[in-house]
């Protein structure tokens, strides 16, 4: 490959389904080991068709056989399709890489992804650039969580110890700290790249890092498998914007980290998955306090029922750390 070819941008296109496209919103681990991972974008190939979607992967430099093969594993429905691989002009790459990055307003929050976008007066403004980590505010799961946090603050709810499990870009932890600035905030993700990006975003938005009040402590952890996450419990507010599968798997360990009367906000699940997720958390003593749907994506606010006598919950046992390997933030 010539130096000129290496410097050019390339696009690989594969067909996919809507379900596969939605799953890719949080899939950053597949290319995490690459120095320059591709930017993945999905769109409808045919309007109102769940089976006719497309995946476009933008590479800096011509993708090798291994990269294309790895891309295929993300969309199993395209195993018989021939990928379309094309070289792009530089100006086309700039245009395409910025598609879909319009600022998002959710309640009092305004999230912009490009430095050239102006701040919105009267709102809490965040600059969260597009990156390998999920959580720029574009997806309904993230904006749904922002709306839920805003509503909780408007009705006077107060929190002093907040955890954001599967933080992605750090946005939800930053938003919570802006609403309750004296709180202790903890944010974690299974992907170390997401934790690095969260730290960069914190500095870009003037969010203080650290373990004290009014600061965000960042940790790399699968589920809640980290001594610091357990030591800093119990939390009165825990946010988990991941996927339905790990939400169900992590229900016992997440609920064990929340104090009696505490709140859990869940997102990343589809409407048809809500009953299964709710059943898992009700079994741990949680009750549904509020539900808000944005398109096909519900956001659930749960409250931990106070218990008395022999049913009173014990503190989280560090020997029973919750793990959901292979899952990070959605």
Domain's final residue, options 50, 71, 97: 97
The pLDDT value recorded for residue 87 is 87
* Whole-angstrom distance, CA of residue 170 vs CA of residue 152: 19
168: CB partners within 8 A, 6+ apart: 26, 133, 134, 135, 142, 189, 194, 198, 241, 328, 329, 330
Q: Are residues 157 and 54 in the same domain?
A: no
Closest Cα to residue 40, out of 109, 20, 48, 49?
20
126 in a structural domain: no
Task: Let me know whether 151 and 54 are in one domain.
Answer: no
Phi, psi of 173 (to 5 degrees): -65, -40
Strand partners, 187: 164, 218
What does the pLDDT read at residue 20?
A: 86
Domain range for 286: 132-320
Pairing of strands 124-127, 216-220: unpaired
Do 150 and 212 belong to one domain?
yes
Domain tally, the chain: 2
Amino acid 35: pLDDT: 67
Q: Are residues 293 and 164 in the same domain?
A: yes
Q: In this structure, is residue 168 part of a structural domain?
A: yes
Q: Can you read off the two tokens belonging to residue 288?
A: 């549904």
Which pLDDT does position 274 carry in this prediction? 93
The enclosing domain of 297 has a CATH number of 3.40.50.150
Domain co-membership, 186 together with 301: yes
Asked if 298 and 238 sit in the same domain, the reply is: yes
pLDDT the model gives residue 320: 39
Same domain, 9 and 140: no
Residues 231-288 have pLDDT tens digits of 999 999 999 998 888 999 999 999 999 999 999 999 988 888 999 999 999 999 999 9
Final residue belonging to a domain, choices 97, 119, 148: 97
Cβ burial of 205 (10 Å; 0-12, 13-18, 19+) is: middle
**Two structure tokens written together for 45:** 């190939």
Q: Is 236 assigned a ligand-binding role in the annotation?
A: no
Residue with tokens 């914007």: 241
Tokens of 215: 């600061």
* In a domain? residue 121: no
Shared-domain flag, residues 148 and 66 = no
Residues 182 and 294 placed together within one structural domain of the fold: yes
pLDDT score for 185: 97
> Would you say residue 151 lies in a domain?
yes
Q: State the burial class of residue 106 (Cβ atoms within 10 Å of its Cβ: 0-12, 13-18, 19+).
A: buried
The reply to whether 206 sits in an annotated binding site is: no
Task: Say yes or no: 174 and 27 in one domain.
Answer: no
Based on the fold, state whether residues 146 and 236 are members of the same structural domain: yes
**So what's the pLDDT on residue 213?**
96
Q: pLDDT at position 257, please? A: 96
Look at residue 110 and tell me if it is in a domain.
no
CATH number for the domain including 42? 3.30.70.260
Annotated ligand binding at 65? The verdict is no
pLDDT given for residue 57 in this prediction = 85
In a domain, 111, yes or no: no
Strands annotated E in the chain: 9-16, 39-44, 53-60, 84-88, 104-106, 109-112, 124-127, 161-165, 184-189, 216-220, 235-241, 258-267, 286-294, 297-304
Q: Are 311 and 229 members of one domain?
A: yes
Last residue of a domain, one of 52, 72, 97: 97
Would you state the pLDDT for residue 307?
67
Residue 189 annotated in ligand binding: yes
In this prediction the pTM is 0.67
Q: 109 in a domain, yes or no?
A: no
- Return averaged pLDDT per consecutive 10 residues of the chain, 330 residues in all: 55 90 62 70 75 86 89 90 85 48 86 85 89 54 93 96 94 97 96 91 96 96 92 96 91 96 94 93 96 89 76 41 42
Query: Which of 273, 302, 280 minimizes the C-alpha distance to 23?
Result: 273
Q: Is residue 105 part of a domain?
A: no
């Amino acid at each position: 490959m010539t130096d000129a070819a290496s410097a050019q941008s390339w696009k690989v296109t594969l067909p996919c389904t809507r379900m596969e496209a939605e799953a890719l919103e949080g899939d950053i681990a597949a290319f995490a080991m690459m120095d320059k991972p591709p930017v993945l974008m999905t769109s409808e190939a045919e309007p109102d068709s769940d089976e006719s979607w497309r995946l476009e992967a933008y590479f800096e430099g011509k993708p090798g056989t291994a990269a294309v093969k790895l891309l295929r594993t993300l969309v199993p429905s395209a195993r018989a399709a021939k990928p379309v691989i094309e070289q792009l002009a530089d100006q086309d790459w700039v245009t395409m890489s910025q598609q879909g990055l319009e600022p998002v307003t959710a309640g009092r929050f305004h999230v912009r992804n490009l430095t050239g976008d102006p701040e919105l007066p009267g709102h809490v403004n965040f600059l969260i650039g597009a990156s390998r980590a999920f959580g720029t505010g574009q997806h309904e799961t993230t904006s749904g969580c922002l709306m839920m946090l805003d509503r909780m603050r408007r009705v006077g709810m107060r929190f002093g110890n907040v955890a954001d499990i599967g933080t992605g870009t750090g946005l939800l932890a930053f938003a919570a700290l802006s609403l309750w600035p004296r709180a202790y905030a903890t944010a974690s993700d299974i992907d170390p790249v997401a934790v690095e990006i969260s730290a960069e975003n914190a500095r870009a938005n003037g969010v203080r890092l650290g373990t004290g009040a009014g600061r965000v402590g960042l940790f790399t952890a699968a589920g809640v498998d980290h001594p610091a996450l357990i030591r800093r419990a119990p939390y009165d507010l825990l946010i988990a914007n991941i996927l339905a599968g790990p939400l169900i798997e992590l229900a016992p360990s997440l609920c064990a980290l929340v104090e009696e009367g505490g709140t859990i906000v869940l997102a990343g699940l589809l409407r048809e998955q809500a009953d299964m997720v709710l059943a898992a958390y009700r079994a741990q003593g949680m009750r549904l306090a509020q539900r808000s749907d944005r398109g096909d994506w519900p956001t659930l606010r749960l409250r931990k029922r106070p218990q008395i006598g022999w049913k009173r919950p014990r503190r989280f046992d560090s020997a029973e750390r919750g793990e959901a390997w292979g899952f990070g933030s959605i």
